[in-house]
Chains A and B, each alone.
Chain A
Amino acid sequence: MPRPTSSSTLGSLVLIAVVIGGSGASFAYTAGWLSPDQLTPTRLVAALAPPSGPVAGHRRNHAKGICFTGSFEANGAGLALSKAQVFQKGSYPVIGRFNLGVPDPMAVDGAARVRGIGVQIATPDGQEWRMAMINPPFFPVASPQAFYALLVASGKKDDPNAMKNFAAVHPEIGAFGAWAGSAPFTESYAEERFNSLDSFTFTDGLGADHVVRWSLVPAAQAVSVSKDDLAKRSNDFLEQEITQRVAAGPQRWTMTVTVAEQGDPTADPSKAWPDGRRTVDVGTLVASKIVAEPDGPCREINYDPTVLPSGIHTSDDPFPSARSAAYAVSYDRRTAEAAAYPTHGGAPQ
């Protein structure tokens, strides 16, 4: 009988151990467990937390917001750039969210430099277009890794050189600092111009790709408010103002799509594209009803900018992927903590 000798049995057992151990190690490596310095979505989200820690039940950034419903009135012109149904002339339902670019759901409205909007447009073909846009004209930094470094540096309040050192490595932050220091504050979400900042690729009906960014340009005239005046406003003045304004009449933004030309920095949202690029007004966003977030339809939506209809896809811009990964972590966390969220109009603890 060809029973194996004991030495070849030992060799076989060693071989099996090597195969299993190697498989386990590859798995651990792929999971990032052996690379503590790898930028994971979890680390990125953790870095967003305020010093007191994340606020349970809420989005990990842009935590303070208010829902709106309305529509996107497409004028048909967008079909020149993308075959997505959302650009066919017609009216499509919207669930949106005005928000502040801070991780604190109790933030003071007048203190937030960055204001944002989340928009979800649904079309009859069952597809959705989700976007999350902000009011600066460009992003503070050029890459997700730089954004993480910025969060870490700005969290080091006791190190006066942290931001200086950061700026030395990421000089693009200077332009954002200049904007933050000089751009006027408006008195209303309805007066803000919101920008995609990231580029995406539109594919038209002939299969041609166009790399674009887009903006929501307000119909309302911007009225700037001085910093002194802002400080006197109530903590929730933006939410109160938009509620009253929309109750008095729908508020509108024109969606303007800007098309990149050869050589434009499509992968770097910290760089604006040169003036004179082709723009196409593709329709109007209408906010017709405001609903407080606890009872509103926007609370359960993750405004993941990579939820795109056929005819739009991501470009070489590295941010949408990082945002999608991080937003998913934020969604997973806050839904797991839903018990901590003050639903049904109850006052937040």
Chain B
Amino acid sequence: MNRIGGRFTGTQRVLHWGMAVGILAMLFIGVGMVSTVTTSYLALVSIHKPLGVAILVLVVLRIAVRLRSGTPPLPVDLPAPVKLGATLSHYVLYLLMIAMPLLGWGMLSAAAYPIELFPGVFLPAILPQSDSLHTLLWNLHRALAFVFFAVILLHIAAGLFHALVRRDGVFQSMAGGSIPDEPSVSTAAE
């Protein structure tokens, strides 16, 4: 229960929660749009593309902010394998935040579809038309979407575990709210 203080900066927290909403929306829109033939299909596709690009821009910004502001350290009593898991899962999340929009952009390019973000605003193709590239990127985009959702569920479960069971301040370092006090053991250590 040794919380070593510190929170993510306000900018980091706004980016985290804003992107959390955006990414979850993307995943639900993605699986929803490919399972319908109603007019929602076109509406969802027209949200999926600009939102994906927004996430790509935001994750670049977020990584820059993280490199500058750093992160609060994890509790010292967190077992090493758990720490490793936390670190690795965060790398996976960042990789997916970058990869998914690029894969989507690439697969639409390889299919020679115009990529319209807003009426009259188009992204350039980043690849030439290619059956094999389209297939590869499409398969990756689809498979990694499920991986992404699974890792996010794990992330949410871990966050709630910190908040409700360990009560070690890790959740509050991103969520805000008062960080549980650590009256006896660690005060001296600090």
Contacts and interface: CB of A to CB of B under 8 A. Distances in A.
A338 B135 CA distance: 10
A220 B167 CA distance: 80
Given A24-B153, A332-B138, A335-B134, A31 B37 contact: no
A152 to B, nearest CB: 14
A32 B35 CA distance: 6
Interface stretch (B69-77, B80-88, B93-101, B154-162): B154-162
B42 A320 contact: yes
A44 B42 CA distance: 16
B184 to A, nearest CB: 6
Contacts of A326: 37
A20 B135 CA distance: 32
Contacts of B39: 314, 318, 321
Interface stretch (A98-106, A156-164, A304-312): A304-312
Main secondary structure of the interface of A (DSSP, over half): helix
B160 A322 contact: no
Given A12-B165, A310-B119, A331-B111, A324 B31 contact: no
B113 A19 contact: no
Interface string B129-143: 101101100110000
A256 interface: no
Interface string B159-174: 0110011010000000
Contact of A306 (B42, B132, B138, B161): B42
A20 B165 CA distance: 16
A154 B71 CA distance: 63
A27 B165 contact: no
Nearest to B133: A335
Most buried by B among A9, A15, A27, A336: A27
B41 A322 contact: yes
Contacts, number: 122
A27 B138 contact: no
B107 to A, nearest CB: 9
B37 A128 contact: no
Nearest to B29: A30
B120 A310 contact: yes
B111 A321 contact: no
Contacts of B27: 27
B177 interface: no
A263 B157 CA distance: 54
B41 A16 contact: no
A259 B36 CA distance: 30
A39 B37 contact: yes
B35 A302 contact: no
B32 A31 contact: yes
B48 to A, nearest CB: 12
Interface residues of A, number: 48
A331 to B, nearest CB: 6
Given A2-B167, A13-B165, A19-B160, A307 B114 contact: yes
Interface string A61-79: 0000000000000000000
Contacts of B165: 4, 9, 12-13
B67 interface: no
Contact of A30 (B32, B135, B183): B32
A279 interface: no
Interface in B16-38: 27-28, 31-38
B93 to A, nearest CB: 16
B64 to A, nearest CB: 30
Nearest to A329: B34
B189 interface: no
Interface in A1-52: 1-4, 9, 12-13, 15-16, 19-20, 23-24, 26-27, 30-32, 38-41, 44
A19 B157 CA distance: 8
Nearest to A341: B131
A1 B35 contact: no
Given A300-B112, A335-B111, A338-B132, A318 B28 contact: no
Contact of B164 (A15, A26, A44): A15
B157 A20 contact: yes
Nearest to B37: A322
10 contacts: A9-B165, A15-B160, A38-B35, A40-B34, A144-B38, A301-B112, A310-B119, A322-B41, A332-B138, A338-B135
Interface of B: 1, 27-28, 31-42, 45, 111-114, 119-120, 122, 129, 131-132, 134-135, 138-139, 149, 153, 156-157, 160-161, 164-165, 167, 180-181, 183-185
Interface of A: 1-4, 9, 12-13, 15-16, 19-20, 23-24, 26-27, 30-32, 38-41, 44, 126-128, 144, 300-302, 304, 306-307, 310, 313-314, 318, 320-322, 324-326, 331-332, 335-336, 338
